Structure 1
Amino acid sequence: MSTLTPSNDQTIPAPRSPQVRKKGANLEKIGWIYMRASGVLLVVLIFGHLFVNLMLGEGIRGIDFAFVAGKFASPFWQVWDVLMLWLALIHGANGMRTIVNDYVVGATTRKVLVWALWIAAGFLIVLGTLVVFTFDPCLGVENSTTDWLIQMCAAR
């Protein structure tokens, strides 16, 4: 028959008992604050993005290559999109890190998964930032069959 009382090595400290904290930055606290701040900023950025793309102008019918090329020609929209990209990827990776820390039991597996998350997020951030800031709609235009694109690039 089993007993419900835990042994001495399984005792859980009282909820308000003093905790010994390591010196240095509290990364969990910084991550928690980042999630709240980036979440608020992402709501503003995403709804602004959706409003401009879907409500202004021709709506969804107006979104085509020329629309994207026009937006990426503006430094304002470049910064807007890169900020949204960075915040969303770091926010998502931090959320996944929290899930991994909560549910993965093995320390080595946890460490490998967290590293994989940050490497993937870093790769996507670098790749997305390069796409936004180096986007050239005239690249390969000589093979295009679109008249407006040929005319626009010839004028440059």
Structure 2
Amino acid sequence: VLIFGHLTVNLLVGEGIHAIDFGFVAGKWADPFWQVWDLAMLWLAMLHGTNGVRTIINDYAEKDATRLWLKIVLYAATTVIIILGTMVIFTFDPCPVVNGVQLPGGFCPSP
């Protein structure tokens, strides 16, 4: 549901892929609904991918030490990506000010 909703909104609604730019993303992330939607998609996709790679490591790494280190790297990378992705989603400023000038956007309040 999350992926199909994401693809529908980003690719089919409006001008499609040609409309995806900073303003499009900023407009979406100005709404808490889309922040939570993208956060859920990030977390679930990362956990799904991590579980798949963990299964591959368990199947193909023959030595216990190799298996251990590959899983440590996998879990560390997953943790870093989930933390950074969460921070980006919740600290993203949809109305940035560059050199004292607020960038245009229909979702930004007038100064």
Which residue of 2 is the match for residue 23 of structure 1? none
Q: How many pairs does the alignment contain? A: 111
Structure 2 gap segments, 5+ residues each: none
Residue of 78, 90, 108 corresponding to 1:133:
90
Q: Is the 8 A contact 1:53 1:59 kept in 2?
A: yes
- The answer (yes or no) to whether the contact 2:95–2:103 under 8 Å persists in 1 is no
Which one-letter code corresponds to 1:88 in the other structure?
A: A
Which structure 1 segments of 5+ residues have no match?
1-43
1:71 CA displacement: 0.4
C-alpha separation in 2, matches of 1:79 and 1:93: 21
Q: How does 1:6-155 map to 2 (within 5 A)?
A: 44-142=1-99, 148-149=104-105, 155=110
Tell me the C-alpha RMSD between the 2 structures: 2.1
Alignment TM-score, normalising by the size of structure 2:
0.89
Bigger CA radius of gyration: 1
Matched AA of 1:136: D
